Amino acid sequence: MQRPLSISEFLQDSVQKPVFDVRSPAEFEKGHIPGASNIPLFTNEERALVGTKYKNAGKDPAVLLGLEIVGPKLADFVRQAKALAPGKKVLVHCWRGGMRSSSFAWLLNTAGFEATTLHQGYKAYRRHVLRSFENRYQLLVLGGETGSGKTDILAQIAARGEQVIDLEALAHHRGSSFGALGQHPQPGVEVFENIFSHQLLLLDPSRRIWLEDESKSIGRVFIPDAFWMQMKTAPLIRVNVPKAARVARLVKEYGQFPKADLEAAVLRIQKRIGGLAYKQCIEALALGELATVADITLDYYDKAYNFNKEKNVVDSVVMEADLPELAAEKVIGLANAQRRNE
């Protein structure tokens, strides 16, 4: 059997080879290497039984129980591996790089595969993920009040060859009380960190990376502390879009959702916008006056955004209308001019 790979070697090889995560489904769901396939040696219940046996009777009885459980599954493991990796060159890992991954790799190698394991397993990967946020990146942050179309502007910036990470897309949340509407369920914090780190791995650290100005929390997930500190001190270019245009954008983006969902979103910020504003929003929703709802809630979001704004704004783009393509061109132009002046 080949020697276990370091995490850097493992991730480099994973570009070309399928990754098999042989941990239990619950472990995999909590967090996994992006793109990995789960072929669990044990179900969640079986893993608990083996753990209990180890705790009560020791290693040898636990190993025997594990073999009894896994034995009837061996042929099916090979069939699954063949279906997922017809080229028969694969990478395998478990939690600590111990018996589960080494046993699975042995089985596949016996069946004609070229299977290589990860030294110290998923634990090594998680250490790598957390360290990746401590690396220094050339960040540029795009700011602007709610409804300014920052996500669309970032997409236009990316279309012009710039490096962009859409944190809200990774988090499945747009960041406000309304942010979960129309989104897939949010990933757990660990899954979010893993896919975020994976996105960073795909980018060139010698080039600038654009992100949207975010709070530390995006729904129920959080930007890692080390990266968040870099974002807070990174140059910020702000886009100023007229309120009427922002109201129109919000009506277009959120007006399609059920009235009950919109009411629930307003309810979540009731204490922040005040009793009168909340009552006005609910009445406007009942009448289908979505522009009024957007206008009222923007008063709150604009105050909150501008109150918390750091003093690292390097320049602003003033737009007369909601035009993401033109805004992207202006923003990139400002960033290029700033770089030339450094």
Q: Which of 137, 145, 92, 143 is nearest to 117 (CA)?
A: 92
Could you tell me the two tokens for 19? 């990754």
- Any idea which residue has 């599954």 for tokens? 73
Cα→Cα distances 294→17, 123, 260, Å: 48, 45, 16
Catalytic residue among 39, 90, 94, 107: 94
Angle at 127 between CA 124 and CA 128, to 5 degrees: 85
Long-range pairs for 219-224: beta carbons < 8 A, 24 or more residues apart: 219/171, 219/172, 219/173, 219/175, 219/179, 219/180, 219/186, 220/173, 220/186, 220/189, 221/171, 221/173, 221/186, 221/187, 221/188, 221/189, 221/192, 222/189, 222/192, 223/167, 224/130, 224/133, 224/193, 224/196
**How far is residue 18's CA from residue 290's CA, in Å, rounded to a whole number?**
48
- The verdict on whether 281 is a catalytic residue reads no
Rg (CA), the chain: 25
Q: How many other C-beta atoms are found inside a 10 Å radius of the C-beta of residue 96? A: 15
Residues identified as active-site = 94
